[in-house]
Chains A and B, each alone.
Chain A
Amino acid sequence: DSGVTQTPKHLITATGQRVTLRCSPRSGDLSVYWYQQSLDQGLQFLIHYYNGEERAKGNILERFSAQQFPDLHSELNLSSLELGDSALYFCASSPRLQPNNSPLHFGNGTRLTVT
C-alpha cells in the first residue's frame, strides 16, 4: 500500500458531463501530481501542486483543472467530457517540490469511462 488514496475507483459517465476525481496524498507529502494513462499514450503528466500552489503543467487540456486544498488533498476536475478522455487517472505524491531524491508514490487510480 503506497499510502496514496484515490476515489472513486471507477467512474462511468456520458459525453459532455463533468466529474471530479479525488486524491489524498501520503501523510507528510506536500507534492501531488496527476497523470493520465491510456493504452496508446502511456503515463502522461498532467499537473503538479505543491503545498497548495500549482507548480507545473504538462499535457493537460483546458477542459481539465485541478486544485490542492489546505489539508493537502487534491481534486482533478474534468469537464465537457469526450470519449477520448476515457483513461486511468493516477495521483502520485512526494514529500518535496522536486523528486530528485525521492520517488513519486502512486495511488491505484480512477478508471474513467466516458460513453
Chain B
Amino acid sequence: GESVGLHLPTLSVQEGDNSIINCAYSNSASDYFIWYKQESGKGPQFIIDIRSNMDKRQGQRVTVLLNKTVKHLSLQIAATQPGDSAVYFCAEKLGGGADGLTFGKGTHLIIQP
C-alpha cells in the first residue's frame, strides 16, 4: 500500500478564501516532503518543499506545515484564485536510497466563483 495519502479527493472553495489541503504519511523515516500541482494536460509542477527538521515553510501565497508527531502534512493556499484549480499531490522521500518520491493519490481543488 501507499505510505502517503490524502484525506479528501475533492475540495471546493470560494474564490478569495483560503484553501487547506491535507496529507497523511505513514513512514517516519521520510525526511523530505514536497507539494506538487498538476493542471490538466501538464506534468506535476513543484510548489513548495519542506525538510523533516522544519515545521513550517512559506512561499508566495502558500505555506506548508509539517507535524511529525501525527505524520501530517498540509498545504495552505491564501486568497485562492481561479488559476489554483488543479490536482494537488503531496510526495515524500524516504531517508537514503535512490527511489525518488512516493506520491499520494491527489486532491482536486475546485474554485467556485
Residue numbers of A with Cβ under 8 A of B are 2, 4, 6, 33, 35, 42-43, 45, 48, 50, 55-56, 58, 90, 92, 97-101, 103-109
Contact = CB atoms under 8 A, between A and B. Distances in A.
A45 B104 CA distance: 12
A98 B95 CA distance: 9
B103 A42 contact: yes
A97 B98 CA distance: 7
A43 B31 CA distance: 20
Contacts, number: 72
Interface of B: 2, 31-32, 34, 36, 41-46, 49, 51, 89, 91, 93, 95-106
B32 A100 contact: yes
A92 B32 CA distance: 17
A108 B105 contact: no
B99 A108 contact: no
Contact of B98 (A2, A6, A48, A107): A48
